[in-house]
Amino acid sequence: MFSPTDPRSNFLLAALIDAGCDSATHPQNVEWRAGQSLYESGETQSHLYFPSNTVVSLQYILNSGASSEFALVGNHGVAGVSLVLGSTSMPSRAEVQSAGWGFRIPAQAIQDDVERPGPIRHLLLNYMQILITQTAQSAVCNRHHVVEQQLCRFLLQRLDNLPTDELMITQEQIARLLGVRRESVTQAAAKLHEAGYVRYCRGRITVLNHQALEQHSCECYAVVKQEFDRFLPQPCVAQQQSMPVVQPRTRGCPPARDFPSRVSAV
């Protein structure tokens, strides 16, 4: 069974191990808290970070202090991958979204493997292609799609990287990451409630109908998902089944149909 403390709980890390990457065999297992910063904009970086049972938001910070998410890293990827190209810093912030476990590897330890042509370099360059696609789709999505569609994409991308159908996040946090008004998120969440796609209760969102949420989302979610399927090896069925499943904690929340048409501010 692959627990959050097993390197193979991150599928990219597992692929690197199978490709013969020695530094990926014994990474440092670390516990992260919600809201923790793995690195800040312009800060000298020294490690690559592989989430296990949490997700990391990559954000661009403006001079005003406002921020917006341009990519998400979960148990299929790594934060800080630009270090393997020789960079020592990034103009972005990596923020842990929920308490959980992950792994870190010194960038220098993996540098030699990346500089040699072979499967290890190929895997990491493929993942960089995925990040480029995510960034491009986020820019297009934020410009051309309504907040309701953006919210669907936002929820689906996180669920793809977590062993649960529940997210602990407030409307204010979602608005900050999407770069939109909080009132817009409130209205969008209310519509998804009324449709029976999600349940929202005191900063906790539970997805009730994943397929309907996909159909209601814009094409940006599918584009990024296809890139993951195309460029990264998929975990075998046994590996997927071995990941612990966390059941949603819905105690104290009324059924979705009992929610008012307007979600109260959090």
265 phi, psi to nearest 5 deg? -65, 150
CATH assignment at residue 67: 2.60.120.10
Tally of structural domains, the chain: 1
Residue 97 lies in a domain: yes
pLDDT tens, N- to C-terminus, the chain (266 residues): 469 999 999 999 999 999 999 999 999 999 999 999 999 998 988 999 999 999 999 999 888 888 899 999 999 999 998 888 788 888 899 999 999 999 999 988 888 888 888 999 999 999 999 999 999 999 999 889 999 999 999 999 999 988 889 999 999 999 999 999 999 999 999 999 999 999 988 789 999 999 999 999 999 999 999 998 888 766 543 344 444 444 444 444 544 433 333 333 33
CA angle 27, 115, 132 (to 5 degrees): 80
* The pLDDT value given to residue 203: 86
3-state secondary structure of 131: helix
- For residue 221, give both structure tokens: 């979610």
* The pLDDT value given to residue 233: 62
DSSP letter for 255, please. Answer: -
Residue 136 lies in a domain: yes
* The pLDDT value given to residue 266: 35
Residue 80 lies in a domain: yes
**Nearest 10 degrees: Cα torsion 107, 108, 112, 118:** -10
DSSP E strands in the chain: the ranges are: 28-32, 37-39, 47-51, 56-61, 67-73, 93-96, 100-106, 166-168, 198-200, 204-207
Residue 143 lies in a domain: yes
Give the closest residue to 74 by CA, choosing from 100, 53, 89: 53
Residue 264 lies in a domain: no
* The pLDDT value given to residue 260: 39
* The pLDDT value given to residue 245: 41
* The pLDDT value given to residue 153: 96
Residue 62 lies in a domain: yes
* The pLDDT value given to residue 234: 61
Residue 265 lies in a domain: no
Domain containing 231 equals 7-258
40 phi, psi to nearest 5 deg? -105, 165
Q: pTM for the full model?
A: 0.85
- b/e per residue 187-207 (b: at least 16 CB within 10 A): bbbbbbbeeebbbbbeebbbb
Residue 2 lies in a domain: no
